[in-house]
Amino acid sequence: MFKKGALYRSSPWRVSAGTHVEIKLKGSSNGLEPRPAILRDGVFACSESSRRVIIGGMIKITFLGGAQEVTGANHLVEYSSPDSTQTGKLLIDCGMFQGTKTCEDQNHEPFGFSPKEIDVLFITHAHLDHIGRIPKLVKEGFKGKIISTPPTKDLAELSLVDSMGILKKEAEREKREPPYTEEEVRKAMEIWETSLYGETIHLAGVKAVFMEAGHILGSAMVELVFGRGESEKKVVFSGDLGNPPTPLLKDPYDLTDADYLIIESTYGSKEHEGREERKLKLERAIEDTIKSGGVLMIPAFSIERTQELLFELNDLVENGRINQVPIFLDSPLAIKATAIYKKYESYFNQEVKYVINSGDDIFKFPGLKFCLRTEESKAINNVEPPKVVIAGSGMSTGGRIVHHEKRYLPDANSTLLLMSYQAAGSLGRQIEDGAKWVTILGDKIPVNARVLEIKGYSSHPDVNGLFSLVEKNSDKLKKVFVVQGEPHSALFFAQKVKDYLGIEAAAPARGESATLE
């Protein structure tokens, strides 16, 4: 709220010559006549605009990544309290741009702000498109705090260290410096603090809280509360949201009172297909593999999807729904991620906790073998089929799964089970689209194996899920910013919010700012 007394003070505003000052009036009811007052004071009477200062408290968001694009999430929040005594610069996520080469080149470009000036970086979850540029931020002088939930910190360290190998190889190929080294990851971990769901983080002029997002272990929405009493504003960043119910996680927090919502839109224009009996399909795929004496290959993402799969296999094996068969988890990253999942059992939903409390280890069952070392991976070849191999990457764009695909795709008794979204251009997508021949590790390979898909499962909500979240907040919402989706998806969803709920909505492009009234 505007302070009359403050209006006549010149020095506390720290406004330099050449700064354009804009007075924000909260209606005329406060009886102030600020413009003449300002002019009389003389200090602010500079019309040449080099910077915009709003007296009376301000919150400004600049969308610097994940703006009309899925990856690279990076949102800057600048704020000052009404009397300008409390100001700050916050970042929500600092993700890597992923996808095409041109897209990934953007990871080397400068940030749209000075990393030295950022006070706090909030991390919503540990996917690389939300954490991948943290080491770069640290390298370029970030001295503030990083804050996330405890599992996000652990998973982020694992992912950042893991992706370093790939980035190093890429850099060597392109004859340039890798984007970061172990040193920056180590430094990032030193300044990284954790906060539990629902716990209030007090910063100068703002309170922050993480709330369950149900997307992957530890994923959170970030709620920022500015001001107090009548002038209080609740700004919520959704991060990536889950698609409940999920096998392991709790449902996302039931948000109902946001003033401003910055919402993801990965599937902002799509409806998910109906949910299939996933476990039943999995059961049949394994039974058929045992019958045909082949190999069941399952490409799976190392974080969340693999642990969901292990949990379901645990149930099928231990409850005698399938016969025991050798099952290999052939992914060092997934094995390490599973250890982190085990550490955070309190984050699981009631059903999973019930199974754990009955004394069962949900990621361990007869026949399951973790293959951490290369020799263990190679030794899978010596085990007679039938057998099941779970390995990364989820879209067969690399990782150990491609070695198994090269060996067993020509075998008509074997099966490839696709459980994840396969991006255009990936090996997984070529096979999904029915390719009869594919190139793997430089060799032409015939696809004689059976290709099965389990669809309808996604770790993001579809357009209806997103819409219902906005609708629940519609009494209070002043504006919705749609981010982290392709342009058609983000723009479609923003339009839908405007048309059906009459709430102001926008899908900002990269670099666009918005001042919250």
Of the ranges 121-129, 199-207, 279-287, 442-450, which one interacts with Zn ion (CB under 5 A)? 121-129
User: How far apart are alpha carbons 39 and 57 in whole angstroms?
Assistant: 20
Tokens 């696709």, located at residue: 418
CA nearest 256: which of 466, 477, 92, 460? 477
Residue 308 engages Zn ion in binding (rule: CB under 5 A) = no
Of the ranges 68-76, 127-135, 424-432, 484-492, which one interacts with Zn ion (CB under 5 A)? 127-135
Angle at 404 between CA 329 and CA 382, to 5 degrees: 80
Chain centroid to CA 355? 28
Min CB(60)–Zn ion separation in Å: 26
CB nearer Zn ion, residue 73 or residue 120? 73
Min CB(327)–Zn ion separation in Å: 27
- Footprint (CB under 5 A) of Zn ion, residues 331-370: none
Q: Which of 69, 115, 127, 218 binds Zn ion (CB under 5 A)?
A: 127
User: How far apart are alpha carbons 90 and 250 in whole angstroms?
Assistant: 28
State the amino acid at position 96 in one-letter form. M
CA nearest 262: which of 291, 279, 243, 239? 239
CB nearer Zn ion, residue 58 or residue 123? 123
Min CB(308)–Zn ion separation in Å: 15
CB nearer Zn ion, residue 127 or residue 234? 127
Site string for Zn ion, 495-514 (x = CB under 5 A): --------------------
Cβ(147)–Cβ(207) below 8 Å: no
Min CB(215)–Zn ion separation in Å: 5
Cβ(65)–Cβ(73) below 8 Å: yes
User: How far apart are alpha carbons 243 and 245 in whole angstroms?
Assistant: 6
Cβ(508)–Cβ(483) below 8 Å: yes
Min CB(67)–Zn ion separation in Å: 16
Min CB(98)–Zn ion separation in Å: 11
Cβ(76)–Cβ(50) below 8 Å: no
Min CB(75)–Zn ion separation in Å: 15
- Footprint (CB under 5 A) of Zn ion, residues 364-383: none
Binding-site size, Zn ion (CB under 5 A): 2
Cβ(490)–Cβ(272) below 8 Å: no
Residue 240 engages Zn ion in binding (rule: CB under 5 A) = yes
Residue 223 engages Zn ion in binding (rule: CB under 5 A) = no
**Residues of the shown chain interacting with Zn ion in the complex, contacts defined by CB under 5 A:** 127, 240
